[in-house]
Amino acid sequence: MAAPAIDFSGLGPKIQSYTLRESENLLTTMLITNQSYLDYMELYPDVTDQLALTQMFVDSVLQPGGKDTFDPKGTVGFKNRIGQVRDCKIDFTLTPKMINAMWKSYLGRIAKSKRGDVYDAPFQQYIMDKLAAKAKEEMHLKAVFKGVYNGDKKQPNRVFDGLLPLLSKASVLANSQIFAGAPVTQSNAIDQLEGIADKVPSHLINEDLVMLVEPSAAKFYNRDYRATFGGNTNNTGGFEHKLLDGTNITIVPEPGLADTGGIVCTTRNNLVWMTGPLGGGPSSFIVEKSRRNVDIMADFQAAPDLAIAEYVWVNDAALTAGAALIAAEAAEPAPTA
């Protein structure tokens, strides 16, 4: 006997009810939860439009004593940079065909979990979790490092300016912060990464620093290290060498840099991740029934940036990649209505 048909006519209201109740959790899932770059980036939630990434510093105050005179010395200065979140959105149409396909996938998940009634776990949550996971993935891999903002376009890499384009803009970094390197291979990876480390001033080399590399470069570094020093774990600290010798620089494989050749070294939390308000509300997610389809709309804000440009050191490939990303966006045809 054939299984009875499932009535999905009430799915739209169920998704709307779920998103109203769980909007904050959904936004947090997309923008914050388990985003690996937040291991080294500073999080600024609830930004409305712009954020002053101002860093206060005091110049030299120390002087010889032993004098009765009062000789004031030193001034307070500021390194001022303005970060700005950009509007992002999800517009997604669930067609009957998609709904049926997701329902079968959902049933498979329930069967594997060995739960009783399939209705014990909400189908609407399954749908929204899938959309949130895809948005999170695209944000990380296509936008955080590689994005070039253009609000008139629809691609995920146009939602905001990513870190490579930001760093490649004129006057952001001085020549002394740029290492003229070569493509990283498993025979030169040590020299390439240490070449960037040599750009870090001596007084900062023992600070908590991170070196962001594409995952293949991290793999090549470990192979080069084993080939150079052998596989003895006493020499390498294990088969995964994460700290550059003689420094406090942690090597971080960053998927967002994949296929760029770029390497970025900076103090931990000098790069920042800004999000708009996470409180949710009735305007964060909108669900509408459109004939046989269900339209899902989500609106939120986010963007990356950097606080102190003087605390960033890169290879020239990072800047070349950033400039190429900007040029690629400019060469795209204008969007049609």
Coil vs helix vs strand at 240? coil
Instruction: Give CA–CA dist 92/26, Å, rounded.
Output: 15
Q: What's at 70, amino acid-wise?
A: F
Q: Lowest-confidence range among 52-61, 83-92, 246-255?
A: 52-61
Instruction: Give CA–CA dist 276/85, Å, rounded.
Output: 7
**Model confidence over 287-302: pLDDT tens digits?**
888 878 899 999 999 9
Say which CATH number the domain at 147 has: 3.90.1690
28 within domain boundaries:
yes
Per the DSSP assignment, residues forming a β-bridge with 308 are none
What mean pLDDT do residues 94-109 have? 87
Instruction: Give CA–CA dist 262/166, Å, rounded.
Output: 13
pLDDT bracket for residue 148 (50, 70, 90):
very high
What mean pLDDT do residues 10-38 have? 89
Looking at the structure of the chain, the number of domains it has is 1
Strands 285-290 and 293-306, sheet pairing: antiparallel
Strands 86-94 and 82-84, sheet pairing: unpaired
CB 330 within 8 A of CB 207: no
Above 80 in pLDDT, residue 62?
no
Please, what is the end-to-end C-alpha distance for the chain in angstroms? 50
87 within domain boundaries:
yes
Above 80 in pLDDT, residue 20?
yes
Above 60 in pLDDT, residue 117?
no
pLDDT of residue 1: 43
The length of the chain, given as a count of residues: 337
pLDDT of residue 236: 45
More confident residue, 42 or 283: 42
- Provide the domain limits for residue 238: 11-57+78-331
Burial class (CB in 10 A: 0-12, 13-18, 19+), 189: buried
**Model confidence over 191-229: pLDDT tens digits?**
999 999 999 999 999 899 999 999 999 999 999 988 888
pLDDT of residue 149: 96
50 within domain boundaries:
yes
**What percentage of the chain has pLDDT greater than the value 90?**
55
108 within domain boundaries:
yes
62 within domain boundaries:
no
pLDDT of residue 235: 47
Helix axes 123-138, 11-31, angle to 10 degrees: 40
- Tokens linked to 210: 């991170």
Instruction: Give CA–CA dist 138/292, Å, rounded.
Output: 28
The DSSP code sequence of 274-313 is EE---S--TTTEEEEEETTEEEEEEEEEEEEEES-GGGEE
Contacts 24+ apart (CB under 8 A), 63-67: none
324 within domain boundaries:
yes
92 within domain boundaries:
yes
Place of tokens 């774990």: 233
337 within domain boundaries:
no
**Model confidence over 65-79: pLDDT tens digits?**
667 777 676 665 656
Coil vs helix vs strand at 62? coil
